[in-house]
Amino acid sequence: MPKHFLMCRPDYFTVEYAINPWMDPEAGADRDLAVRQWEGLKAAYEELGHQVSLIDPIEGLPDMVFAANGALVVDGRVYGARFAHAERGPEGPAYLRWFTERGYPAREPLHVNEGEGDFLTLDDVILAGTGFRTDVVAHQEAQEFLGRPVISLTLVDPRFYHLDTALFPLDGRNVAYYPEAFSEGSRKVLRKMFPDALIATADDAEVLGLNAVSDGRNVIINAEASNLQLELKRRGYEVIPVDLSELRKAGGGPKCCTLEIRGEN
């Protein structure tokens, strides 16, 4: 079934501050290359038949390209984002405004959360990350607003500061993840919930291979995650590698650039 994604062209992308271990302001980033790579990702979605909507980028918000962090949308209801770092603070209202202007029922959050960066939706539950960016109390706030069970998972490695850098849904029932990114208790939860999960290697995780997007059949994934691509193919998935190396300089990959709009208003 075709999906509906919201994306933001990286017209103002740069690395001018460091709020995660991937970012090095001295090294900077090539904005034009980032735009070309982003356009390749957008084209990949459209070639698969998915719908892509665009939000206008805002000058001075270089990380706005990472649309996944802007909200969580389930059943046409929008739980907004409240960013942990001041540098990204204005992004939350900008994304919420995009949805409210189009008639989506929306909730401005009371608690710090970074949208789909830390909330990943399956058929019956929402997996929610905490430890670096999203307050655990936001998990409860999202559950109350969206009416979906939310399972809290604790992240422990600062390289994997969002849940979507350490885990992605393969479909509505199963996931791929990197165990070492999680606390011991969270690993036990994941093992119980997903006994047939695809377990990623450190090499895959360290190129943000788990910051991937699956539509249940096709998986759009960072090209460097070679082991993970082989395992996905063995499981029958069509693998579509993309090069987002420039955006990775800010800690982003395919999923970071992609906010899924589930259910229409």
Query: Nearest CA to 135 among 154, 157, 116?
Result: 154
User: Quick check: 106 pLDDT over 70?
Assistant: yes
**1 pLDDT band (50/70/90 cuts)?**
confident
Per-residue pLDDT, averaged over 240-250, amounts to 98
Task: Note whether 168 and 175 are within 8 A (CB).
Answer: yes
Angle at 171 between CA 232 and CA 37, to 5 degrees: 65
- Sheet of 150-154, strands arranged across: 119-121, 126-130, 150-154
- Residue 130, class by beta-carbon neighbours within 10 Å (0-12 exposed, 13-18 middle, 19+ buried)? buried
pTM comes to 0.97
- Percent pLDDT > 90 in the chain is 99
Note the pLDDT tens digit of each residue in 181-216: 999 999 999 999 999 999 999 999 999 999 999 999
Give the C-alpha distances (Å, rounded to integers) separating 36 from 58, 183, 229: 18, 37, 23
User: What does the pLDDT read at residue 27?
Assistant: 93
- Percent pLDDT > 70 in the chain is 100
**221 pLDDT band (50/70/90 cuts)?**
very high
**95 pLDDT band (50/70/90 cuts)?**
very high
Q: Report CA 247 to chain centroid distance, whole Å.
A: 13
User: Quick check: 246 pLDDT over 80?
Assistant: yes
**69 pLDDT band (50/70/90 cuts)?**
very high
User: Quick check: 265 pLDDT over 90?
Assistant: no
> What average pLDDT does the structure give for the chain?
97
User: What does the pLDDT read at residue 23?
Assistant: 97
User: Quick check: 36 pLDDT over 70?
Assistant: yes
Per-residue pLDDT, averaged over 37-53, amounts to 98
Active site residues: 162, 256
Per-residue pLDDT, averaged over 131-159, amounts to 98
